[in-house]
């Protein structure tokens, strides 16, 4: 079987309109494998009933929880998220145990599966982060710039980037998640051409600027990974409080691809920080491993 056919259904989806991101602590590991299977069964039922909704989901684990439930087998590259940066610009670690990512073209279907997940896992987990993401106008982040311009397109290219191709983790994927809070008041005070120099792309059509036309720490320069990761990020926000941001989420076949990008963004390569970090800050940070369907099935068989 191909690696993509063994992967969980939410990894390779493209252009989904809505998502719910759930991060949790695991309080009780007993029966966890069976609960994952129940979640996947409910997912399949909803997919069958709503064929045009393009519903997909992922269950993933942090380093300590995966090591505990899988007895140290698989996910060999997985580590806990390590804080980066300095007192002025930093990426904190809020490493949690379990991650659920649900996405679809329809919010009601996403919400239905999220409620079912809450009932299935119940008191065995403690939810510490629940973010409702939406695809904003013209694929843009709330900063006004198009997000994910260089994302791999099509299932083959996306699978090549996101899915472990062979070995014991075939069909699995390594995940980076960070929730960013934007300072739009400060950002919107900048002239558009200044924003573009900081971002490294034009705002209207997302055309990459030549190196001599952008700042040395332009976002595009600091995050240039080509087609090595599949981004599933979405904006989120609260209209009444004004808190808006981006829930950054990316999948890759090697965790090092995420780590290299973070090192570049937070000054670990040449001492230069990503310029947009002056206007947005991460408030969470975790690495995860999304097991293959085979690995999840094995968890249930071991009566975990």
Containing 84, the helix (H) or strand (E) segment is strand 84-85
- Helices 32-49 and 293-301: crossing angle, nearest 10°? 130
What's the burial of 106, exposed, middle or buried (CB within 10 Å: 0-12/13-18/19+)?
A: middle
Q: Rounded to the nearest 5°, which phi and psi values hold at 120?
A: -65, -50
Residues 131 and 174: their CA atoms lie apart, in Å, by 20
* CB-based contact 1:40 (threshold 8 Å): no
Q: How far apart are CA 107 and CA 191, in angstroms?
A: 35
Q: Residue 132 and residue 183: Cα distance in Å, rounded?
A: 19
What is the distance between the alpha carbons of residues 90 and 83, in angstroms, rounded to a whole number? 7
Whether the Cβ atoms of residue 159 and residue 3 lie closer than 8 Å to each other: yes
34: enclosing H helix or E strand: helix 32-49
Q: Which residues have a catalytic role annotated?
A: 147
């Amino acid at each position: 079987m191909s690696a993509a056919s063994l992967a969980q259904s939410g990894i390779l989806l493209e252009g989904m309109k809505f998502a719910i991101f759930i991060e949790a602590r695991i309080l009780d590991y007993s029966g966890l494998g069976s609960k994952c299977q129940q979640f996947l069964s409910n997912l399949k039922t909803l997919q069958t009933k709503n064929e045009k909704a393009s519903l997909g989901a992922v269950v993933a684990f942090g380093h300590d929880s995966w090591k505990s439930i899988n007895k140290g087998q698989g996910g060999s590259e997985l580590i806990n998220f390590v804080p980066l940066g300095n007192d002025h610009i930093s990426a904190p670690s809020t490493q949690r145990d379990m991650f659920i990512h649900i996405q679809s073209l329809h919010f009601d279907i996403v919400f239905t599966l999220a409620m079912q997940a809450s009932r299935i896992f119940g008191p065995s987990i403690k939810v510490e982060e629940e973010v409702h993401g939406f695809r904003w106008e013209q694929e843009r982040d709330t900063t006004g710039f198009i997000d994910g311009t260089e994302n791999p397109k099509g299932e083959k290219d996306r699978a090549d980037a996101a899915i472990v191709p062979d070995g014991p983790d075939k069909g699995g994927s390594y995940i980076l998640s960070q929730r960013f809070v934007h300072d739009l008041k400060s950002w919107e005070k900048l002239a558009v051409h200044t924003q573009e120099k900081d971002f490294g792309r034009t705002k209207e059509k997302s055309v990459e600027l030549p190196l001599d036309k952008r700042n040395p720490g332009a976002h595009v320069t600091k995050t240039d990974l080509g087609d090595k990761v599949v981004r599933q990020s979405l904006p989120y926000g609260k209209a009444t409080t004004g808190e808006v941001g981006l829930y950054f989420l990316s999948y890759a076949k090697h965790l090092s691809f995420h780590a290299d990008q973070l090192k570049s963004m937070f000054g670990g390569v040449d001492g230069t920080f990503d310029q947009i970090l002056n206007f947005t800050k991460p408030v969470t940070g975790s690495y995860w491993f999304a097991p293959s369907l085979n690995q999840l099935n094995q968890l249930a068989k071991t009566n975990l």
